[in-house]
Structures are given as C-alpha cells and as structure tokens.
Amino acid sequence: MITKANGRIPRRVDRLPPFPEGWYFIATRDALLKEKLIEKTWMGEEIVAWSDDEGRVCVAEAFCPHLGSHLGPAAGGTIRDGCLVCPFHGFTFDTTGQCVATPNAPPPRAAKLKLYETREILGMIFAWYGVGGRPPQWDLPEEPPTGADWSGLAFATLRFRGHPQETTENSVDVEHLEYTHGYHDVEPTAFSIDGAYLRSCFDFKNVRTVAGLVDVVTEITVVTHVHGLGYSLVEFHENTIGMDSRLWVLSTPVDGEFVELTLVSQAREVRKPGRYIVGMGFLPRKLRNRLMNRILIHEERRFVAQDVVIWERKRYQSPPRLSRADGPVGKYRLYCRQFYPGPAPENGNTQTSRLPADGTATHGRRIDDRASLHARGGAEELRSTGSAPSRR
C-alpha cells in the first residue's frame, strides 16, 4: 500500500494465506473421553487426538512414522491402555508421541509422532499451529473465573467457506452490528492492542418485540478479548437485569477453503429475573440458568448465520477504502500481520511481515511490547487508504 514513507503503489490482495499462526480449537475433553480417538482435518493437516488414563491429552499428526498408515479410527486406529495403536503393524505410541511397543521387536527410538502443543480452557482443547513448525509465540489466557452461579458450556458449530481473519474482524467492525444484526446505538468505548492480545469494547441496545405488541429494550456492555485469530472471548453484561454471559468464538481453518466456527456460551445465574425473562422466576435457579444458556447459544447461532451469508460470498478487500465510521479496522489488519510469518532469513529466525518474532511470551504477549508500534501503524494504514479518523 502507498504511504509517504515508501511511495509504493498499492497492490490489491484478494486472498489471505489460509493458515495463520496461532492457537486453534481441537475438541472438548468430554468428546475425547466419549470417542476415545478423534481424527480430523485441521489447519490443512490430518491429525488425531486422544487422552491417556491420567488425563494427558495428545494431538498428533495422523500418520505412523513406521510405514505411513493413517492412525485415525476410520482406518482402524485404536486406543489401548491410554496409548495409540497403529492398525497396520501394531506400533504403539504414548501421549509423548514416542513409540513404546511393537508386536515382535523392541520399539525403534526414531519412531516418534509429530506432536502439536496443547492448552486447555474449561475443558476445551486447543493446539498451537506454527508456520514452519515454529513453537508457540504467545500463550492463551488463564481460565476465566467460574463457580456454582455459572452454567455449563453450550456448543454450536458452523462450517462454511471463510477465513479466521475475516470472522475475527467482526469484533472491531462495530458498524456491521447495526446494519447487519439490527442493534441500536452501538457505541465503541475502548480499543487496545498488546502483542497478540486485542481488546475491543462497545455498548449497544437491543430491541425485541414480545408477542407482537411490546418492545423490550435491553442495554448491553460488551468486552471482547482476542488472542490471535482462533480464540475470542466475548463478555456480555446486560445492564437492565444485571445478567452476565460469555461467548467464545473459535474460528478454525479446515483445509484452506472451509472454516469451522465453534460458538461456546456460558450464562451466569440471574437471581432476580425481570420483565425480559418474565415467567422464569418460578423456575429453580439451576434450571433457569441452563435454560437461559440454551436461549443464548440459539440466539448467537442465529446472529452468526447472518454473517455466514456474507462471509461465504465476500472477497478479502485490501487495501480497504475505509470511512470515518469504520473505527479501528485498519489497526486490526496491522495487528493480524504478525500471524503470517515470512521466509526465514540467513540467521534462521523466521520474521513476520510486520513484527519480528524474536521469542515467546505469556498471557497473549510477546517478550517485547509493540502495542505503540501497532497504534502508530494503524493510523498510518488509515491515512494510506484514504479514510478519515475513527469516531473515537
């Protein structure tokens, strides 16, 4: 794109690289316990996942290092005593990926599965995808606090043609909330970037017509926590009745064309239900909580389905021609550059297109803080695309 600094002519980009670096959803622990062995296409790779008798989770490439057999259950792979057994020659692998047994000879030391590093949040299993096999460059956040007043998790999954950068962009594109979803008085309140962690906050009003007669207005405060392009946690506070809820939006590339978008909701107990949920006051609190969470996941799936119609048919527009109302879309796109490492230079250290990847960090941050660089770069992109400053 053209700037005063480089003077280059902007080049239109119609398609993003399909597999940005980051943490991406695999499955739930409950699913692993139920299925024993899971196989799936994930980030363009065939993988398997299982847990041993002590609860250790392994996510590995789905091909045996012996003679290349697929290890998934569709090919006959099984779990025996917490280990993965190849259906071809019976080579057996523990959750460290090491071959620990064969039927007729000592296990070869070199026979080891390719593993993916994992994290777990409230029973949701994530694995790190690093371009060129890079180790994790940042970590996922700690588990959010839970207690007896929080419901369990409810899940909904949608599969469609798309890209995680496009789906995650909705967290900063607050203008579409009003035009696409019918929200009212959407007002951004805060925006910040710290390495791989992006925080976006806004308020809005939702108007629902009950029984075709009465308009019920709810005022909602939203805080979105984005940790890379595969993990977003949205916290809602409904100010009218004091209800808190959470929504995880987990966008995972499948094969370079499709993504699986997993929605996970959790609701906090409403001790004094008001007119918005009239009639629920007679229900036991725990049942009321579960019912509210089912309503939430149904509504969120409905909202996301409205986006899917657009995502499946849109083109990635770069450079974007932003307007005064578009807010931090330009800054968001600069933030995303760190998830597409470029080719390795002679010293062997892979570089990103914008930020050096010079080490690991914790809690969504790299070792060196580049939030200010992102802020300056975001303003630069907004100027270079001919847009005016955002409202905030």
3-state secondary structure 291-319: HHHHHHHHHHHHHHHHHHHHHCCCCCCEC
Residues 45, 147: one domain? Answer: no
Tell me, yes or no, whether 321 lies in a domain: yes
Residues 68, 182: one domain? Answer: no
In whole angstroms, give the CA distance from residue 82 to residue 52. Answer: 4
Tell me, yes or no, whether 58 lies in a domain: yes
Q: Angle, nearest 10°, between helix axes 329-336 and 371-384?
A: 120
Mean pLDDT, to the nearest integer, of 54-66?
98
Tell me, yes or no, whether 134 lies in a domain: no
Q: Which residue has the higher pLDDT, 185 or 187?
A: 187
In tens, the pLDDT along 103-161 reads 999 999 999 999 999 999 999 999 999 999 999 999 999 999 998 899 999 999 999 99
The residue behind tokens 């270079």 is 384
In whole angstroms, give the CA distance from residue 6 to residue 11. Answer: 13
Residues 101, 195: one domain? Answer: no
Residues 116, 203: one domain? Answer: no
In tens, the pLDDT along 319-361 reads 999 988 888 999 999 999 999 987 544 444 444 443 333 333 3
Mean pLDDT, to the nearest integer, of 295-310?
93
Choose among 24, 29, 93: nearest CA to 64: 93
**CATH at 82:** 2.102.10.10
Residues 307, 336: one domain? Answer: yes
Tell me, yes or no, whether 243 lies in a domain: yes
* Final residue belonging to a domain, choices 105, 129, 153: 129
Confidence of residue 208 (pLDDT cuts 50, 70, 90): low
Lowest mean pLDDT among 46-60, 113-127, 302-316, 339-353: 339-353
Choose among 26, 335, 307: nearest CA to 163: 307
Confidence of residue 180 (pLDDT cuts 50, 70, 90): confident
pLDDT at 210 over 60: no
Confidence of residue 370 (pLDDT cuts 50, 70, 90): very low
Peptide bond into 319 cis (omega under 30): yes
Q: 262 - beta bridge partners?
A: 157, 250
Residues 35, 16: one domain? Answer: no
In whole angstroms, give the CA distance from residue 201 to residue 219. Answer: 14
The residue behind tokens 């389905």 is 305
Tell me, yes or no, whether 135 lies in a domain: no
* Final residue belonging to a domain, choices 104, 129, 154: 129
- Cβ within 8 Å of residue 10, ≥6 positions away: 1, 2, 319, 384
Residues 200, 257: one domain? Answer: yes
Tell me, yes or no, whether 367 lies in a domain: yes
Residue 345: per-residue pLDDT: 40
pLDDT > 70: what percent of the chain? 76
pLDDT > 90: what percent of the chain? 63
Residues 51, 146: one domain? Answer: no
Residues 104, 11: one domain? Answer: no
Count structural domains, the chain.
2
Contacts 24+ apart (CB under 8 A), 244-249: 244/268, 245/292, 245/293, 245/296, 246/144, 247/296, 247/300, 248/124, 249/167, 249/168, 249/171
Mean pLDDT computed over every residue of the chain: 83
Residue 213: per-residue pLDDT: 54
Reported pTM: 0.82
The residue behind tokens 């949608």 is 158
- Cβ within 8 Å of residue 380, ≥6 positions away: 3, 5
Residues 79, 109: one domain? Answer: yes
- Cβ within 8 Å of residue 73, ≥6 positions away: 35, 36, 37, 38, 39
In whole angstroms, give the CA distance from residue 76 to residue 87. Answer: 5
In whole angstroms, give the CA distance from residue 137 to residue 216. Answer: 46
pLDDT at 385 over 70: no
- Cβ within 8 Å of residue 295, ≥6 positions away: none
Q: Which residue has the higher pLDDT, 8 or 378?
A: 8
pLDDT at 271 over 90: no
Listed ranges 55-64, 201-210, 347-356; the one with the highest mean pLDDT: 55-64
Domain that holds residue 50: 25-129
Choose among 38, 29, 112, 127: nearest CA to 79: 38
Mean pLDDT, to the nearest integer, of 274-297?
68
Residue 364: per-residue pLDDT: 44
Residue 3: per-residue pLDDT: 39
Residues 104, 245: one domain? Answer: no
Q: Which residue has the higher pLDDT, 188 or 51?
A: 51
* Final residue belonging to a domain, choices 75, 105, 129: 129
Residue 347: per-residue pLDDT: 41
Mean pLDDT, to the nearest integer, of 366-383?
36
Residue 372: per-residue pLDDT: 35
Residues 11, 41: one domain? Answer: no
